[in-house]
Structure 1
Amino acid sequence: MKYGAARLGRVLVVRLEDGDVVHESIEAAARAEGIARAAVILLGGAAGGSRVVVGPEDAAARPVAPLQRVLHDVHETAGVGTIFPDEAGRPVLHLHAAFGRDDQVTAGCIRRGVTTWVVGEAVVIELTGTAATRRVDPASGFELLDV
């Protein structure tokens, strides 16, 4: 385990609109406000056709091949994530969410493209006083947090 301390900065409230791609919109808002590091809370609706990474196809395989699910219809969404800059300094959202419809639930990473259905709300809580950055880990290929 590696960790470091941070302080709370500004709080950004984001209303996502019908058709907005969640990670693209939240990252754009962070860039516009100069927020490089943050904690993110998300809720709202996800459109049918949204793509979610639900794990690796084979946990032992390298490089990791993501297992993807496509949401078959509109789903309720609740998620939590973080924003940290990549090695080029771009703020990158890493957010996992649960997607529910009727009695079925899918959970996973939104990075492959989750689209807002009618309403999406995100609260972006800026983190200051830290230099934490996402760096590519050669072993996994993932951008891991370097604190």
Structure 2
Amino acid sequence: MKYTEANLGRIFILRLEHGDRIPDVIEGFAIDKQIESAIVHFLGGADTGSKVVVGPEEGAAATPRPMVTELLGTSEAVGVGTLFLNEQNKHKLHLHAAFGRERETITGCTREGVQVWHIGEVVIFELCNTTAKRKVDLETGFELLETE
């Protein structure tokens, strides 16, 4: 385990609009408000056609290919994630969410694009005074969190 410390900074409360796309809208807000590190909570609805990463394909490949699935109906959603700069100082949201419709639930990463369905509430807790950053791991190709 590796770690670094941080201090709590500003707290932002966002009401997303119907059709807003996660991660784009959250990363764009972070750029506008100069948020470099944060904890992100999401609650609301996801529209039909939203795409989530639901795991890597099985196998021993050095860089596993992601499995992507599409939501087949409007779904309830709840998620939590982190936002950090990568090596190019680009804002990168890593948010996992669970999407439920009737008795079916899909859980995955929102990086492929989740469209908000009418209700999208986000709370962003800014983290200050931290060295944490996303860096590409040469073995897996993933942008992993590094604490230096």
**Shorter-chain TM-score category?**
over 0.9
What is the aligned-residue RMSD (CA, Å)?
A: 0.8
- The residue number in structure 2 matching 1:72 is 72
SS at the partner of 1:94? strand
- The residue number in structure 1 matching 2:98 is 98
Give yes or no for contact 2:47–2:71 (8 Å, CA) kept in 1.
Answer: yes
Q: Pairwise mapping of residues 115-134 of structure 1 onto structure 2 (< 5 A)?
A: 115-134=115-134
- The residue number in structure 1 matching 2:12 is 12
SS at the partner of 2:72? coil
The alignment-based identity, stated in percent, is: 48
- The residue number in structure 2 matching 1:33 is 33
How high is the TM-score relative to the length of structure 2?
0.97
Deviation at 1:119, TM superposition (A): 1.1
Look up the equivalent residue of 2:13 and give its one-letter code: V
Distance 1:41 1:72 in 2: 23
Distance 2:68 2:99 in 1: 14
SS at the partner of 2:114? coil
Specify every segment of 5 or more residues in structure 2 that has no aligned partner in the other structure, as ranges: none
Give yes or no for contact 2:17–2:116 (8 Å, CA) kept in 1.
Answer: yes
- The residue number in structure 2 matching 1:107 is 107
Q: Which string of whole-angstrom CA distances, capped at 9 and with x for unpartnered residues, describes residues 88-111 of structure 1?
A: 112110000000000100001000
Give yes or no for contact 1:16–1:120 (8 Å, CA) kept in 2.
Answer: yes
Deviation at 1:59, TM superposition (A): 4.9
- The residue number in structure 2 matching 1:89 is 89
SS at the partner of 1:25? helix
Distance 1:52 1:22 in 2: 10
- The residue number in structure 2 matching 1:44 is 44
Give yes or no for contact 1:14–1:26 (8 Å, CA) kept in 2.
Answer: no
SS at the partner of 2:23? helix
Aligned pair count? 147
Distance 1:128 1:59 in 2: 39
Distance 1:22 1:59 in 2: 29
Specify every segment of 5 or more residues in structure 1 that has no aligned partner in the other structure, as ranges: none
Look up the equivalent residue of 1:118 and give its one-letter code: H
